[in-house]
Amino acid sequence: GDFPIETDTIVIGAGPGGYVAAIRAAQLGQKVTVVEKGELGGVCLNVGCIPSKALINAAHKYENAKHSDEIGITAENVTVDFSKVQAWKQSVVKKLTGGVAGLLKGNKVEVVKGEAYFVDANTIRVMDEKSAQTYTFKNIIIATGSRPIELPTFKFSKRVLDSTGALNLPEIPKKLIVIGGGYIGSELGTAYANFGTEVTILEGADDILSGFEKQMTALVKKSLKKKGAKIVTKAMAKGVEEKEDGVVVTYEVNGKEEKVEADYVLVTVGRRPNTDEIGLEQVGVELTERGLIKVDKQCRTNIPNIYAIGDVVEGPPLAHKASYEGKIAAEAISGLPSEVDYLAIPAVCFTDPELATVGYTEEQAKAEGIEVTVGKFPFAANGRSLALNNSDGFLKLITRKEDGLVIGGQIAGPGASDMIAEIGLAIEAGVTAEDIAMTIHAHPTLGEITMEAAEVALGSPIHII
């Protein structure tokens, strides 16, 4: 055998969970090695958050150019050079993954290319095409992420796409079927609809974007329909017939079998954790029924020196959650008393309009017996929003009735993804509606909507009756 290399902390996977954990552990004085079998940045930077947002932005620019006659702008012969869009999108990805490489190096984290596999609770083997190397460690953080679920009736191919395939299409499809109206399906469906694709979303449940309130998803559905998209709910996708230049998808709705044709079908019906091929059985790490790794509040598994973070553990599979847990795990390993607290973890959907939520919804508060006062304010009563010609939406500030403490917020509207941060901070810092109302927000900004909602909660709004 080879001579084992000794280190303090190993991180498996360099996604937003793993690379952040590695940097924080190094900052706290650990000798850290991160093992990555693919690309630095993981799903998020390479085939997730970042390329999808780049595509969504490009699609907005196109859609805006074509549909701004309302405000007196008419553009003719607006065209898309999709290979250039793709090249630009990849350049954004490259900048960021290069940035991660620089950050790891700057923090003296060793990066090893290869696939890690557990030998025992203090040893892994790392394999690449040519060789294998053994590493021993005091502590290890599993951050191997997740991959798309493949349905047996929809094997991925050139025309049956997972999210990665849908991000990397060679052309804008004329027609696209999306199976699964979760946030990935809805975001990519919206992007292609903005590019002019005829989109059909098939959703098995009775609504798309089930994680958000109906009032919010209703706005997304309205705008998708306006873009020419068709949304079929309670639709069971049954199978696909692949042709040379397209697909025919069969689905069942209301007991009737239907068929729909398109150039491509995107299947986004969930993701499964990468916990099945890393030798966890060798060390006895406990998993849930769904294959997620069980962890405590410090992200520690049942084996005291093995930690897990991000998409491989319970909770919303989101990049910022992975990074947050990465910091907690690295601090725990370094002997700090850090623990996770998910109270103020936001969730965002980059549809039209954007949706964002943090903390309690009205309904969740009620379910827990918390009496609330809700401050709701429409984007249509905000000057900036009207000046942007984008005023469909609302903000709901959820405050505790007894003392006005901000405990949650939901936003549907332009800029929701950025605006939600203020409410997250309010929850984290124990801010009241009065604090927000008395904070001077610059005029005219979308941020004023949060201030106005606080005024509504206090019962004395200025710009609404």
Question: Known catalytic residues?
Answer: 443
Which residues lie across from 32 on neighbouring strands? 9
Residues that bind ligand FAD (CB under 6 A): 12-18, 35-38, 42-44, 48-49, 52, 115-116, 143-146, 163, 184, 274, 278, 310-311, 317-320, 322
Report the residue number, 148 or 461, with the smaller CB distance to ligand FAD.
148
17 is in an annotated binding site: no
270 is in an annotated binding site: yes
In the bound complex, what is the minimum distance in angstroms from residue 312's beta carbon to ligand FAD? Answer: 6
Q: How far from 78 is each of 160, 373, 394, 415, CA to CA, in Å?
A: 29, 48, 32, 25
Find the residue with minimal CB distance to ligand FAD.
145
289 is in an annotated binding site: no
102 is in an annotated binding site: no
Report the residue number, 69 or 277, with the smaller CB distance to ligand FAD.
277
Report the residue number, 285 or 365, with the smaller CB distance to ligand FAD.
285
In the bound complex, what is the minimum distance in angstroms from residue 47's beta carbon to ligand FAD? Answer: 6
In the bound complex, what is the minimum distance in angstroms from residue 320's beta carbon to ligand FAD? Answer: 5
Name the one residue in this structure whose structure tokens are 């909660």. 457
Dmax over CA atoms of the chain, in Å, equals: 77
Cβ count near 27 (within 10 Å) = 16
User: 90: which 2 tokens?
Assistant: 């990849």
242 is in an annotated binding site: no
In the bound complex, what is the minimum distance in angstroms from residue 117's beta carbon to ligand FAD? Answer: 6
311 is in an annotated binding site: yes
Report the residue number, 141 or 365, with the smaller CB distance to ligand FAD.
141
Report the residue number, 67 or 320, with the smaller CB distance to ligand FAD.
320
For residue 240, the one-letter residue type is V
Report the residue number, 311 or 448, with the smaller CB distance to ligand FAD.
311
d(CA 376, CA 315): 28
Closest to 252 measured CA to CA, from 233, 265, 236: 236
Q: For residue 232, which phi and psi values (nearest 5 degrees)?
A: -110, 115
CB 310 within 8 A of CB 145: yes
Does the bond joining 152 to the residue before it have cis omega, within 30 degrees of 0?
no
180 is in an annotated binding site: yes
In the bound complex, what is the minimum distance in angstroms from residue 341's beta carbon to ligand FAD? Answer: 18
150 is in an annotated binding site: no
d(CA 85, CA 164): 16
Annotated binding site for NAD(+), which residues?
180-187, 203, 270
Annotated binding site, which residues?
53, 144-146, 180-187, 203, 270, 311
